[in-house]
Amino acid sequence: MMNGPGRVSPGSAAPAEGRSCSWLNIWVFLIFALSIKAAIGTLCLWLVVPFCHSGDQPSALQQQFSEWECDSAVPQGTDRGWMCCPKGWRRFQGSCYFLSPDTMSCAESAQNCTGMGSQLVVITSKAEQEFFSEQIRQSKEPKPYNLYIGLFAEQEGQWQWVDKTPYNATAAFWRKGEPNNILDENCTVIHVPEVTLNNWNDVIPTTKHHRICEAAAVIV
């Protein structure tokens, strides 16, 4: 039977055009979805870098901070491109450091660092000691007078680092005459007024001083 005006018989061109239109819509949608994914990836890199690798288990430090500062100074042998520290912390080599604005006792300082997913700083090289001396020198006024570090003596004269790193007397930076091991002085501070690199003092643990916390930088 002849089809009347306006009717389309099966097998005519109209359905083919409809299928072409549908495939075009699918391609447009896919391109749009990929663009959104790329944009989210970029946003992830700049805003929440340490949390973008869903396969990684967040460290205690990552769980404590939401704002981070990153740069591309990454050790050789890694396939990732950024090294990150919490905002306001200072990075040296592979570690992040926090110089506190407030004061606490020795035990409180250790506990405070632990609560932030870090520890009182462990200093084992001249380069690291020089870094702290420079950072303290550049600190805004008022400068701290003393800063706790992670070196303790459970018994008189038996010094050990908080993370059990072996204590090396030849890589220590005591002031002249220190440690003098008097009055149960079994905690250690960097004594800021000392102008040389040898600026460690042993102190009474109940005295309140500033502190330096240390944690491994997050590589992403």
Spans of all domains in the chain: 21-50, 95-214
Distance CA 59, CA 84 (A): 13
pLDDT in tens, 40-81: 343 344 444 455 543 466 788 998 898 999 987 655 555 667
| 11-20, 172-181, 197-206: the lowest-pLDDT one | 11-20
Nearest by Cα to 217 from 91, 48, 57: 91
pTM assigned to the model: 0.73
Mean pLDDT, the chain, whole residue set: 80
Q: How many percent of the chain have pLDDT more than 70? A: 70
Torsion sign over Cα 107, 180, 209, 199? negative
Q: For the segment 104-120, what is each residue's pLDDT rounded down to a tens digit?
A: 999 999 999 999 999 99
Tell me the HSE value of 47 on the side-chain side, using a 13 A CA sphere. Answer: 6
What's the longest Cα–Cα distance across the chain?
115
Looking at the domain 95-214, which fold is it? Mannose-Binding Protein A; Chain A (3.10.100)
φ/ψ of 122, rounded to 5, equals: -110, 120
